Amino acid sequence: MKCIVLAAGYATRLYPLTKDTPKPLLDVGGKPILEHILDKVREVKPVDKVFIVTNAKFFGHFNRWKIGFRFPVPIAIINDLTAADEARRGSLGDIQFAIDQQHIDDDILVIAGDNLFSFSLKLFVEQHNIHKKSAVALFDVRDKELAKLYGIVGIDRKNKMVEFCEKPKDPASTLASTGIYIYPRGVLPLLKEFVTKFKNTDKAGNFLEYLHKKEEVYCFVTDEPWMDIGSIEQLEKARKTFHG
């Protein structure tokens, strides 16, 4: 299994904090957001390499960070060759860019680089191993108004996805996609087909919406703390919630 961490955004909503620092390298609890993520990846023994996809602007930042970071498997920093927010490839575009550039032909664990979470990735992967299908981690936001801000998922009794809607006006549930996914090797051609055909690559949820209508997608539901750092207010809240 390969892990792809998506870190190529420009985080303009967090300016001036992210004008010269990539969001995943912002400090939370004494260490960068990225290191919180990798501490979770460290527990997933099937992962034998980590790819961090960034952009031309922040490529050097991640390479300098990597020099002082010790990890049990190799970490590669990938430059997606974009240099401005309006040129970004989007989540799916960056996943496909990493797959193509690194010739990845393996199951992939994908994590958005602005995620902070307490649940175990090891348990997520173990649940995936039961059915060997695509999987997404869900967090119950427990608030219909809050649910309007996320990709919301409907599931059946077996935790199989039956519905996906990005930022619904009338949410059918409060289960939010966390930006943490497992795609088996056999699904990668479908991802390439989607990215090539639809050019709709900004949000990773767009592929889930497409995929679950073609084959089974399972969900790992957690109520342990999870945050998507999208604003300065959320960053301050994360600094109170998550510690080094």
Quote the pTM value: 0.95
Total domains in the fold of the chain:
1
Which of these, 36, 184, 206, lies nearest to 121 by C-alpha position?
36
Residue 14: how many CA atoms within 13 Å on its side-chain side?
23
The answer to whether 109 and 40 have CB atoms below 8 angstroms apart is no
| Residue 204 pLDDT | 80
Phi, psi of 143 (to 5 degrees): -155, 120
| Residue 88 pLDDT | 77
What is the residue-wise DSSP string for 42-89? TT-TT--EEEEEE-TTTHHHHHHHHHT---SS-EEEEE-S--SGGG--
What is the residue-wise DSSP string for 12-50? GGGTTTTSSS-GGGSEETTEEHHHHHHHHHTT-TT--EE
Distances (CA, A) of 220 to 90, 92, 99, 232: 24, 21, 24, 28
What distance in Å separates the CA atoms of residue 25 and residue 37, rounded to the nearest whole number?
11
The answer to whether 106 and 98 have CB atoms below 8 angstroms apart is no
Tokens 């799916």 identify what position? 92
What distance in Å separates the CA atoms of residue 6 and residue 234, rounded to the nearest whole number?
19
In this prediction, the residues of the chain whose per-residue pLDDT falls under 50 are none
CATH number at residue 165: 3.90.550.10
| Residue 202 pLDDT | 72
State which residues form the domain around 208: 2-241
